Amino acid sequence: MPVPSNSGTDDIIPVPNVVPVEQMKGEDDEDTAFLREMLEEATNYIRSFSWCDSVVGSYFAGGVGKIFAIFLFKISSRRSDVDLWEWIFVGDVPPAYLPLEDAGSRMQAFEAYLEGMKRWVALAREGREPEPEDCCPPVNVPATPEWAEALDGRLRTLTELVRPYFE
């Protein structure tokens, strides 16, 4: 159910259980500070793409400071083929984005990130770089068995320790 935004815009947030980043709070002050750093990383990441003209709204979907966080950004773009709502994933894992139309809730976004990265791990274990038809998020390290094992360990941590933050 969409809810009104409290971030000073007239936007309707298209998914439940996200909050304007101004209301983002971690488990304690230190966690909140880490989440703010992750917000900056997520903002810089999405702005690095030529199709993102600016960030119009920023919402926190959940996470654990320094480990993993999901944000939902409303962006502006001159390109008509770009979804204006994007999930952004950052943390101790490769950053990625996912259009809102591909995941309608924060849990679906979390699961989609994990599945995409697991596909990358499977290909990297074989030393294969993903092709577009593999539907893998871009990963900023070489597709090698060593990197696959390192990422696989982080994905297991996300599954075991971070998943409850999105349920």
Q: What is the DSSP letter of 11?
A: P
Whether 73 shows a pLDDT value over 90: the answer reads yes
pTM of the model: 0.89
**Backbone torsions φ then ψ of 65, nearest 5 degrees:** -50, 135
The answer to which of 3-12, 72-81, 87-96 has the lowest mean pLDDT is 3-12
Distance CA(55)–CA(108), nearest Å, equals 22
Q: What is the pLDDT of residue 11?
A: 66
Q: What is the pLDDT of residue 139?
A: 86
Beta bridge partners of 70: 62, 89
Confidence at 10, pLDDT banded by 50, 70, 90: low
Whether 8 shows a pLDDT value over 50: the answer reads no
